[in-house]
Amino acid sequence: MQKTGLYWLGNDLRRHDNHCLLAASKAVEHLLIVFCVEPQWLSMGRYQQTRMAQHRRRFLTQSLYQLKKQLAEEGQQLLVFAGDPLEILPKVIDQYQVSHVFRSLHPAFDEQQQWQLLHSSVDALSTTGRIEWHELDNLSLINQSDMRRLTGLDNLQPQKNSLTTDFIPSFSKFRRMVESAIKKQVFTIDTPSCASIPLPKPVALSPSNYAQLTKYWVDDIEHALGITSVECINRDADNIHVNAHNTNQACHEWLNTTVTSTNDEQAGFFGGESSARDHLKRYFSDERAHQYKHVRNALGGWENSTKFSPWLANGCLSARQVIDALHKFEQKSERSDSSYWIFFELLWREYFFWYAFYHQQALFRFSGIHRRRPLTSFYPERFRSWADGSTPYPLVNACMKQLNQTGYMSNRGRQLVASCLVNEMKLDWRYGAAYFEAQLIDYDVATNWGNWQYLAGVGADPRSTDQGGRHFDLKKQQQRFDPKGVFVREWLGKGASIEHSDSAIDHIDATGWPIQ
């Protein structure tokens, strides 16, 4: 009997250096490549916020289109379904007698749960015999077995009696551990795998033979993701075109203004693997990496940091591909403190990946991994002003406007607005994290919630144990990073002041009376 595989895509929307595609290509003759648009992404989530706002959905849509096109060129097919994967995938597995299921190892609690539930429910119902389940290292730099060896932990997930302190307590310790292992050559980061093996054939699908699945089938990805027509442009490196049914005037106008936009964040971030590969190539084609460490903290400016994050978060690019490009750059143009710092920052990403994998639900807990409850709460008016960018702090407002308009914010900006939410506004950090989750085009569950915990003093920051979270002095930060107010005025308008306004944070008191 022929072997049929199912590859359930997630944050791994790429053809190259994709361990799942490689493994499937070796194991099966036919392959279904499936992406599920989950209804919960578009509905109200926890903390009274939608899980995925427009910018994130747009980037995801673009990424799916590029993958669809790439797969079609190789005779394969991207199948997009809208609905709960736990409802859809068992039907697909049953209908097509799937013998192998592939998925990238995801670190976070919900995704782990989904995988385990799918596994157990399908196995319980299976009449066709044993299915092979493959959850593969595909999103991180370090794989599970190396991580076990490096940490000495037999199990990288919490056990009944395990302690928070069983996992590497700080980033510094993690970094030293990884760097020393690389130096002693007990561990190497894999080079990216190439896409030379042809993909297995798709399974013949026609509307008549998938009666059970028609109601989930999605032809129109942007419609499924609630994207308005002018935003669903499909662009690749040298061939810009608009989806057939959207060739209206407005769409062309938008395309022209976007591509020539002076707003780098909008012009440069375009979802998909070919855009990611172009950007990676361009970044290392000049000497930018030698300046990185000195400019990475800037609040604005396309060139000041790598801007790899949205493509990494959606898996259009792998961290291994970035490291490989970095090493090639260093071989050609020497290694500098700055170029090394790109690796350093990618280790932060890696740390939070394994941190999320280890701590599971505790990643989202108000009291964090140490079970220490911060003295903050939820005040709707304060939260609204923070999210809208109408606090008394111009620097925070400018960063929030940038986020709301583009779906991106610099690392320094994220630190400042998070510190403001926790320390000035005294708000529950999880509302801030959930707001970022909805807005950021580079939203990554481990990195986002891990960084928020860190800033709120309930995470992996060794300083937080006895001194609370990180509190940035907003006036000093303004002086240091935007003394002339260029960034503030870019987002708040020409006449904006950089001085903190006298207006109070609250306009009503605890009983609902207006404050004079």
Ligand X SMILES: Cc1cc2nc3c(=O)[nH]c(=O)nc-3n(C[C@H](O)[C@H](O)[C@H](O)COP(=O)(O)OP(=O)(O)OC[C@H]3O[C@@H](n4cnc5c(N)ncnc54)[C@H](O)[C@@H]3O)c2cc1C
Please say whether the beta carbons of 514 and 331 come within 8 A: no
First to last CA, the chain: 79
**Would you give the binding string for ligand X spanning residues 307-336, x where CB under 6 A is met?**
xxx--xx-----------------------
Q: How many residues bind ligand X (CB under 6 A)?
A: 29
Q: Does 306 bind ligand X (CB under 6 A)?
A: yes
> Which amino acid type is present at position 227?
I
Assign 3-class secondary structure to 226-287. Answer: CCCHHHCCEEECCEEECCHHHCCHHHHHHHHHHHCCCCHHHHHCCCCHHHHHHHHHHHCCCC
Q: Does 140 bind ligand X (CB under 6 A)?
A: no
Q: What is the DSSP string of 320-341?
A: HHHHHHHHHHHHHH---HHHHH
Q: Does 443 bind ligand X (CB under 6 A)?
A: yes
Q: Residues 16, 19, 22, 28: is their CA dihedral positive or negative?
A: negative
Member of 16, 19, 277, 414 binding ligand X (CB under 6 A):
414
Q: Does 442 bind ligand X (CB under 6 A)?
A: yes
CB under 6 A: which stretch of 52-60, 149-157, 162-170, 340-348 binds ligand X?
340-348
Member of 70, 77, 391, 410 binding ligand X (CB under 6 A):
410
Tell how many helices (H) and how many strands (E) occur in the chain: 23, 7
Nearest approach, Cβ of 128 to ligand X (angstroms)?
40
Give backbone dihedrals phi and psi of 349, rounded to 5 degrees, phi first.
Answer: -60, -45
CB under 6 A: which stretch of 75-83, 127-135, 242-250, 413-421 binds ligand X?
413-421
CB under 6 A: which stretch of 63-71, 107-115, 249-257, 306-314 binds ligand X?
306-314
Nearest approach, Cβ of 245 to ligand X (angstroms)?
32
Q: Does 383 bind ligand X (CB under 6 A)?
A: no
CB under 6 A: which stretch of 147-155, 172-180, 412-420, 476-484 binds ligand X?
412-420
Please say whether the beta carbons of 103 and 10 come within 8 A: yes
Helix (H, G, I), strand (E, B) or coil at 124: helix
CB under 6 A: which stretch of 40-48, 125-133, 195-203, 436-444 binds ligand X?
436-444
Q: Residues 18, 20, 25, 26: is their CA dihedral positive or negative?
A: positive
Give the whole-angstrom CA distance, residue 356 versus residue 451: 11
Nearest approach, Cβ of 185 to ligand X (angstroms)?
24
Cα-atom radius of gyration of the chain, to the nearest Å? 23
Q: Which is nearer to ligand X, 246 or 318 (CB)?
A: 318
Residues of this chain, 347-366, that bind ligand X according to CB under 6 A: 348-349, 352
Q: Does 451 bind ligand X (CB under 6 A)?
A: yes
180 Cα distance to chain centroid: 28
Residues lying near ligand X in the complex (CB under 6 A) are found at: 296, 305-309, 312-313, 342, 345-346, 348-349, 352, 410-411, 414-415, 418, 436, 440, 442-444, 447-448, 451-452, 455
